[in-house]
Amino acid sequence: MNFKRTKWACFYTYLAMSSVFSLPPILFLTFREMYGISYTLLGTLVVTNFCTQLAVDLIFSFFTKYFNARKTLKIMPVLTSIGLLTYALIPMIVPQHAYAGLLVGTIIFSIAAGLNEVLLSPTVAALPSDNPDRDMSTLHSLYAYGVTMVVIVSTVFLKVFGTENWMYLAMFWAMLPLVSFYLFCTSPLPEMELSHGSEKGTAKKRNISLALCVLCIFLGSAAENGMTNWISGYVENALGISKAMGDILGLCLFAVLLGLVRTAYAKYGKNISKVLLWSMCGAVVCYLVAALSQNSAVSMIACVLTGPFTSMLWPGMLILMEEKIPAPGVAAYALMAAGGDFGASVAPQMLGIVVDNVAASSWAVSLAETFSMTAEQIGMKVGMLTAAIFPILGVIALVFSLRYFRKAKGE
């Protein structure tokens, strides 16, 4: 059976799903200006996105046998379109309840995003391939290129037609997942092992290994998504760079470099353990420089470079899991997705809470006067500094995990 079309269906779906993750941050400041939504509530939308995905991941982990993976793959893109349309239409029809519409739309397309993460990676892993690591890295690189596409198209649209017409932009992105629905309906789908049964002697080692991988992907995802969700607002507000330039030179370049590193690993990569460790160390440096530098250009470069340094932290942990846990099953992928989604929800929300609380404090106002900044800019820099805790803990967790894997291999 020829699964080439199936592989392309998975690749396109990952590309199309990028709008779910990258469009909301681009619109955050628009929502704040049009509807008066606070940074904390904007951060709550991000938390809702990833916590919904987390719930889907956990449900799939513990109740895998009750799901029909093939039917779920086909339904997933339709849910994405419904969610994005809800996200756009309710604020347009009843603007006084705009936040409720954004919240409901977020929940719907987040369910689809959770299914996307749970099913696409094991589907690609189950396809016949000469180089499965290359296919996995390619799959995740397409997300970054999708983000780039969404940022460029969205920025140009908002510049030409005005931010007040943002809802038509969301409707446009809602159409793309319908192509995925057609592709999955017309492609053969592989048999996937839904769970993995271990012998009692190896079950403990396997569970510890999986737990360590979940911890590491949580911290890696937090490091990546803390910057992904706030780079646009940070570059514009904290560094005083225009929105259009901030989105293109900030978020867009971040995504391009992230994608290029994943593509490069797909072609040339090896020794994923060292790649992960050096990546996490680089992310620590980038966060600290972005938060502490007084030079806007240096801070922006640090924000952008977080992209390539965090690029392999999610797909790389999946590759490492596959190395350490042979034939992990869909349930293991679901737990990994749960860890990643939890990190992706905690970091942006924590950053938003820190920004709001610091900006409202008297000491931030005083400090802002000293450095000729606004209290909001001080809040964003403190938030970015706080978010550095995730890659710092990630370095510690990776060192411990790699030592455990070496020890377990020697036993």
Strands (E), 218-309: none
pLDDT-derived band at 1 (thresholds 50, 70, 90) equals low
- Give the integer Cα–Cα distance in Å for 89 and 104: 11
Predicted model pTM: 0.77
Nearest Cα to Cα of residue 170 among 159, 158, 179, 182: 158
Picking from 66-75, 237-246, 348-357, which range would have the lowest pLDDT averaged per residue?
A: 237-246
Residue 411, pLDDT above cutoff 70: no
Q: Which amino acid is at 194?
A: L
The pLDDT score that the predictor gives to residue 59 is 87
DSSP state of 327: S
Share of residues in the chain with pLDDT > 70 (%): 93
Do the Cβ atoms of 308 and 256 come closer than 8 Å? Answer: no
- CA 317, 322, 324, 330 torsion-angle sign: positive
pLDDT-derived band at 256 (thresholds 50, 70, 90) equals confident
**CATH architecture for the domain at 4-184+202-410:** Up-down Bundle (1.20)
The pLDDT score that the predictor gives to residue 403 is 92
Residue 297, pLDDT above cutoff 70: yes
The pLDDT score that the predictor gives to residue 324 is 86
Nearest Cα to Cα of residue 221 among 341, 316, 309, 122: 341
How does pLDDT run across 322-348, given as a tens digit for each residue? Answer: 888 877 777 888 889 889 888 887 888
Would you give the distance in Å from CA 139 to the centre of its chain? 14
Share of residues in the chain with pLDDT > 90 (%): 35
Residue 210, pLDDT above cutoff 60: yes
The pLDDT score that the predictor gives to residue 162 is 92
- Give the integer Cα–Cα distance in Å for 49 and 26: 15
Phi-psi domain of 117 (left: phi exceeds 0; alpha: psi -120 through 50; beta: other): alpha
If DSSP codes are grouped into helix, strand and coil, which group holds residue 372?
A: coil
How does pLDDT run across 116-140, given as a tens digit for each residue? Answer: 888 888 888 888 877 777 888 888 8
Q: Which residues, including other chains, have CB under 8 Å from residue 65's CB and lie 6 or more apart?
A: 194, 195
Count CB-CB contacts under 10 A for residue 318: 27
How does pLDDT run across 366-376, given as a tens digit for each residue? Answer: 888 888 888 88
pLDDT-derived band at 355 (thresholds 50, 70, 90) equals confident
The pLDDT score that the predictor gives to residue 258 is 87
The pLDDT score that the predictor gives to residue 160 is 93
Highest mean pLDDT among 18-32, 51-65, 213-227, 235-249: 213-227
Mean pLDDT calculated for residue range 382-390? 93
